[in-house]
Structure 1
Amino acid sequence: MSEFDIADIADIMHSSKMDGYVDPVSREVHTRLDDGFYGDDDQDDIADDWIRIDAADTAEEYEDMVDFAAAVTDTPQRIRLMRALEGRGAFRRFRDEVHRDGDIGRLWHRFPDARREMRVASWLADVDLIPHEESDVLVVARQATLAEVRRSLAQLADAELEAVAALERELQTPECRSDPARVAELLADDFEEVSASGSAWSKADTLAGLAAEASEAPRIHVHELVTRRVADDVVLARWMSERSGRRAERTSLWRRDDDRWRLVHHQGTPVA
């Protein structure tokens, strides 16, 4: 397998501040800055047999960003990233946007690294430094990394929706409903509930109502709970409640505040 430093070559290939060369005999990579070769005080000249590392096309780097954004399964986040790529300053806006979410940012770093190393593998074969068969093996290994990143992106979206679903279920349990401190944590300060009669209940009203609820009140059963994201930090939960033989269609809006999900709106409609 290749003894070339693939990552080092990729860094040079995608840098606008330095260039580099590969020694086809020793397989060493030489990085040249404005004042000479980096890390080699004795090297001033370019050997005749060295091969200059081609610079990557910025269009390819832009394509990496587009493909990563398309791989984000969370619709609002994907739209936000796509919008960042429109017009001048796209590279800077995309970097700012992709790092708004720590998990997304960490996955982003793995994505272009794999794509860049795939380009290096192809380049090494094109300049006859490695056989094409060896290049294909290197490319396939990086394709596996890209597939893993895509799976992780899908799991991130699922994990947040599952977290909101778990909070919705928790809020209906007797243990939670009898714990004012926990309910207060789960309800946003601007929480509002619209009752079946059309009355609006504030957070304070809801806390007071739960405090007055008898400890032996029948359990609320949650059926057919589904969640979906409707905005960057807002998730809609829909489900059917059943309590003492009475059923109701319920919707809840959860909003992420300071990295915590809180219920901001709830409404229930009785079902005959």
Structure 2
Amino acid sequence: MVNQKELKEHIYSLEKALLNSEVRKSPDRLNELIADDFVEYSSTGEIYDKENILNRLPNEEDPGITMSNFKLKYLSATTVLTTFKVFIESKQKYSLRSSVWMLNNNKWQMTFHQGTVTDLGY
């Protein structure tokens, strides 16, 4: 049986990693964290797949992202939903985020992500 507290901490660390500039600039690390069938509905309204992420993120400047209000919900023994808020320093904007993580070959990978811009700074 999975220790729920440990799993929450582990998934939190993976979400934090994806906000980290070093990880975002590493195609190899991004490839490990993102599932092959990944889909993102971005806060700009665009839809991205894994190939786009691997090509785009390593070339971006660090946007300075901080995360708060992290929550995790179990969807199944091998699938979890995360929800949280981020502040993007470079844009001076908040967004609400959600991700679906699945256990693939004994490693957790993000399979879905969505960002929604909000004015709420709570």
Which runs of no fewer than 5 residues in structure 2 stay unpaired? none
**Count of residues in Structure 1 that have an aligned counterpart in Structure 2:** 117
Q: Is the contact between residue 226 and residue 237 of structure 1 (CA under 8 Å) also seen in structure 2? A: yes
Q: Is the contact between residue 43 and residue 95 of structure 2 (CA under 8 Å) also seen in structure 1? A: no
| Other-structure match for 1:49 | none
TM-fit CA distance, 1:199: 2.2
Matches within 5 A, 1:32-71: none
Q: Distance in 1 between matches of 2:112 and 2:63?
A: 23
Q: Does 1:229 align with 2:74?
A: yes
Q: Does 1:168 align with 2:15?
A: yes
Pick one of 196, 200, 213 that aligns with 2:60.
Answer: 213
TM-fit CA distance, 1:265: 0.3
Please give the secondary structure, in 2, of the residue aligned with 1:263: strand
| Other-structure match for 1:184 | 31
Q: Is the contact between residue 234 and residue 255 of structure 1 (CA under 8 Å) also seen in structure 2? A: yes
Which runs of no fewer than 5 residues in structure 1 stay unpaired? 1-103, 105-152
Over the aligned positions, Cα root-mean-square deviation in angstroms equals 1.3
Deviations 1:88-122 (A, max 9, x none): xxxxxxxxxxxxxxxx3xxxxxxxxxxxxxxxxxx
| Other-structure match for 1:246 | 93
4+ long deviations beyond 6 Å:
none
Q: Distance in 2 between matches of 1:211 and 1:238?
A: 24
Q: Distance in 2 between matches of 1:199 and 1:243?
A: 18
TM-fit CA distance, 1:176: 0.7
Higher relative contact order (CA 8 A, sep 6+): 2
Q: Point out the structure with max Rg over C-alpha.
A: 1
Pick one of 238, 255, 263 that aligns with 2:102.
Answer: 255
Please give the secondary structure, in 2, of the residue aligned with 1:198: coil
- Counterpart residue identity of residue 194, structure 1: Y
Q: Distance in 1 between matches of 2:63 and 2:104?
A: 32
Please give the secondary structure, in 2, of the residue aligned with 1:196: coil
Q: Is the contact between residue 165 and residue 225 of structure 1 (CA under 8 Å) also seen in structure 2? A: yes
Q: Distance in 1 between matches of 2:63 and 2:38?
A: 24
Q: Distance in 2 between matches of 1:184 and 1:190?
A: 11
Q: By percentage of residues, which structure has more helix?
A: 1
- Counterpart residue identity of residue 103, structure 2: R
Deviations 1:130-170 (A, max 9, x none): xxxxxxxxxxxxxxxxxxxxxxx7xx122112211111111
Q: Is the contact between residue 161 and residue 229 of structure 1 (CA under 8 Å) also seen in structure 2? A: no
- Counterpart residue identity of residue 165, structure 1: Y
Deviations 1:4-25 (A, max 9, x none): xxxxxxxxxxxxxxxxxxxxxx
Q: Distance in 1 between matches of 2:114 and 2:54?
A: 16
| Other-structure match for 1:5 | none
- Counterpart residue identity of residue 158, structure 1: K
TM-fit CA distance, 1:179: 1.1
Q: By percentage of residues, which structure has more strand?
A: 2
Please give the secondary structure, in 2, of the residue aligned with 1:165: helix
Q: Distance in 1 between matches of 2:74 and 2:57?
A: 28
TM-fit CA distance, 1:205: 0.6
Q: Percent identity?
A: 28
Q: Does 1:200 align with 2:47?
A: yes
